[in-house]
Amino acid sequence: MTNSRIYYSQEAEARAKEEARKELTSLIAVFFGFGVITGAALALVFSATRKKPKTFADRLEDQFELGQRATSEARQRLEREFDDFRKRLERIANP
């Protein structure tokens, strides 16, 4: 990139280059900050829609509840079958 300016002293040229470098650094910092803020906002938006990963205790509790439900259903089924079996035995024993 050619510089079409003419400087009358080396000091003025150095000062202009320093100001240009500071301006570029500031611009880079602003865009970097904007990117960080935008990225953080997007991460918060998308993380809120996802379920939190379950801990070991949560998974253990889920399995315990599943076991209780299965046991309860099996107990109810066995009680019905036992009642039916008892009624059949009574019919056979008392014709």
Same domain, 72 and 38: no
The count of structural domains within the chain is: 2
Same domain, 31 and 61: no
Same domain, 69 and 31: no
Cα angle 68-70-76, degrees, rounded to a multiple of 5: 100
pLDDT digits (tens, 9 = 90+) for 9-18: 888 888 988 9
What is the DSSP code (8-state) at residue 31?
A: H
| Percentage of residues in the chain having pLDDT higher than 70 | 89
What average pLDDT does range 52-65 have in this prediction?
84
Domain membership of residue 88 as a residue range: 53-95
What average pLDDT does range 9-29 have in this prediction?
90
Distances (CA, A) of 16 to 9, 19, 24, 28, 89: 11, 5, 12, 18, 108
State the pLDDT at residue 71: 93
Measured between alpha carbons, how far is 40 from 11 in angstroms, rounded to an integer? 43
What average pLDDT does range 40-49 have in this prediction?
78
Neighbouring CB atoms inside 10 A of 16's CB total 13
